Structure 1
Amino acid sequence: MTIKQIEIKDFWRKFNIKWKLNPDVNILTGINGAGKSTLLDLIACIIIGSRLPKSMLEKASMIKIKFDEDEATIVNINFNDSYLNLTKKAQEDEIFKELQEDVEDDFVNTSRKSRLNSLMLNASISYVTTKTKGKIPAKEFLSNLNIDVISTFDEPLSYIEDKTKWDSLHEEGVWSSLDKELHELQEQYSYYVGNLANTIEKMVLSGVQPKIEDLSNLYAPKNLFIKIINELFYSTGKVIDTNKSKLSFKIIEDNITISIYELSSGEKQMLYILWKVLLQNQEPYILFLDEPEISLHVDWQELLIEKIRLLNPNCQVLIATHAPSVLLDGWQPFVTNIDDIKFRAQKK
């Protein structure tokens, strides 16, 4: 399932947006401060099923996301007004009635409920309509969507959890948020490789002798991932060390193995993005990428979309960028400037 169209009302309180999407690649461009990241954040937050944080509730009054299957549409309504006005709207509109009930459920304490009439609210509600089922709960629909959101901004880790846990991670070389993401991908990768072995074992136990062609097809995505990474990293003298159980790298000249945490910032970024895509297992996915060019060499920026599509041709990609190099290599027809989809909202 892919996103077909996005409509937003009162974006930044002054624009309406209508963006028709391609089923494969969508590149959103514009100058810094034009709203690219905000737009992607709003969309991603809604289809992940998260409640919009207060800081984002005021960025739009309504978000409508249309999909290509069963005429499915997610509608998110944000309400920034008094509770008194919400009760008036609830008498006329079933959706606002549901929102009113949600707000009242949050105020379980009777003494707090008595203050409702004097409160200004920042609240939101989402619902989904489909052709075959009509209106359904958003959670039910969203549970069937595969979503990946990749932000490549990196920062040092803070001791916000158990210090012993962080000390253990530091021992492995995990010092930044990107390192932590790579550490989690390492665990998922072990599970992924284990599943490949389990598939072969099940075939043997069921009396089926795997053919070379079967094994080749089974391991093709993993081998393609290794091939792509090796080609990209070869110029820096590194290749994946296939003799190790965990994904690690070998410095060709010195024949020394290094961990993924010893890579350069740009190498970590590229590995993180492509590793994430490999683990999608070529299933239908919607992938959000916010300024993926950060820390990437210009040559890698040009190749990024191509490599993503090679690893998962069933992945719909939404990218926000202002790097001209990302647009090269034939991707210009997939580019939308955010200023071309923003229209001044009429004052009420």
Structure 2
Amino acid sequence: MVKAVVAGASGGIGQPLSLLCKTCKNIDDLALYDVVNALGVAADLSHISSPATVTGYLPKDDGMKSAFTGADVVIIPAGIPRKPGMTRDDLFKINAGIVRDLIKGVAEFCPKAYLLIISNPVNSTVPIAAEVLKAAGVFDPKRLFGVTTLDVVRAETFVGALTGTNDPSTTYIPVIGGHSGETIVPLFSQAKPAVDIPEDKLDAITYRVQFGGDEVVKAKDGAGSATLSMAFAGFRFAEKLIRALKGESGIIEPTFVYLPGVEGGAEIAKATGCDFFSVPVELGEGGAKKAINVVADANEYEKKLLKACYEGLGGNISKGVEFVLNPPK
């Protein structure tokens, strides 16, 4: 039996993510939690003829406790999109507070659950989660993941369009670093099978992977950001993790983890100067089994990208840690 929770299930990412989870044959019990509309989303999904039972929960009547208790996997897309007149700092404080409070619930009601953080900014919200779990005495680095799979999915898609492959997902492209702008570093040189990207197109495709979210925001004309593709990416990672937890071997996916707590991670942390970093991670029955050092094999072009990544990422991580240790008033 696998119980999965989507925390933030009524939002733009949460609803399509919950739909995908309902279709997953490896999920038996699906709990949907949100501050509004979770009961309606659950009722709607419950009519789909797939194995998982679906239940919605609101904060009242100990809804968080009921939703989280017994959870094996908790996926957190909760948060608000940036609104007109809102600064990035305003947005950070709101979403950081939402994630902090949800993680407090995890620490209390399902401390052994595997946590998948989608809520942006991932570069800061994952360190926030780690600090909250540390304070509660239940932090296990092998169970905490920042979902950066959308960057991988975009790299696969954009390279596929360039090479003309029928199925872009068959090309493995490690995308490492963080999950925003210049902290995102696609390692096209390590693609399998190898891809030939013309030199005059390399800057453009790299930029598109790093800032692909802007395309969606612009196309939606103020009506939202990347929700459907993010839901797909979040589900892809969750489904792979569940398969690994059930004993399937050889599953590797880039994810943003606390490197010192994962086998092979200390070497990468030393090389990057960052304790949190997205690298390909082998997933196993205990979660993050091994971090794979692809940083060492980056070519000269990629090393320049990584230098900018390290500078930006360090500040993002510190901001998340500081939010928990010295909360804004």
- TM-score normalized by structure 2? 0.26
Higher relative contact order (CA 8 A, sep 6+): 1
Bigger-Rg structure (1/2): 1
Compare the two structures and name the one with the higher strand fraction.
1
Compare the two structures and name the one with the higher helix fraction.
2
